[in-house]
Amino acid sequence: MAKAASGRSRKVRHSESLDLLPVMNLFCCIIPFLLLSASFLEVTIIQMAQTEGIGAAGAGAVANLARSEEDRLQPKVILTDEEMFIGTVAGTAHVCYSFTQNVDGVDMLTYDFDSLTTKATEVHRLLSEAYPQIEFHKVTILTVEETRYDNIVAAIDACAASGFDQPGLQVAPTASVEQATDAAMGR
């Protein structure tokens, strides 16, 4: 048979419909899996403080605490490469020496945080007894640049378990922290 004069075929063309059923089935399987495998995080805010007053000679570490009575008495946990201390302007006490722990085949520097919890609880009790009109919640974690994040978080957790639930963080050069610690310990 011959074509029509217009050159078009007389067949009716049907548009193809998209079959969305397989895609919908895929989404119905993937969405519950993604929800179950998602990890939900708890956001923690760490207050950062500038390390004013700690010079190369280590002088001025104690002078910064004299802003108010509570700030003046605010304890500091000092993490050096060799040991950990806790103290206020009234004095500094040795908590523990650092030690190396093998984690996944890598040697990492860590501390005995149970000792920190014990000492921090004792410091909190002594401060609360000596100054009953002041509620002590603040503590500053003073570290050197190379301190592992896990150690900082563990120190914050140990202090929180002792009643110091408002931690601050200061990072200073290693030489400054060690000289300030030596001066506070009378070495």
Q: Which domains does the chain have, with CATH numbers?
A: 48-185 (3.30.420)
Amino acid identity, position 32: P
Q: How many CB atoms lie within 10 A of CB 83?
A: 15
Q: What is the mean pLDDT of residues 10-19?
A: 72
First to last CA, the chain: 112
Instruction: State the pLDDT at residue 56.
Output: 47
Instruction: State the pLDDT at residue 61.
Output: 45
Q: What is the mean pLDDT of residues 14-28?
A: 83
Cα 112 to Cα 26, 57, 149, 168: the distances in Å are 50, 29, 15, 20
The DSSP line for 27-89 is HHHHHHHHHHH--PPPP---EE---TT--TT-TTTTGGGTTSHHHHH--EEEE-SSEEEEEET
Instruction: State the pLDDT at residue 23.
Output: 87
Higher pLDDT, 88 or 186: 88
Judge contact between 155 and 116, C-beta under 8 A. yes
Is the pLDDT score of 28 beyond 70? yes
Q: pLDDT of 59-118, one tens digit each? A: 444 444 334 667 778 888 888 888 888 888 777 888 888 888 888 888 888 888 899 899
Instruction: State the pLDDT at residue 12.
Output: 66
Q: pLDDT of 111-159, one tens digit each? A: 888 998 999 899 888 888 888 887 888 888 888 888 888 888 999 999 8
State the pTM of this model. 0.60
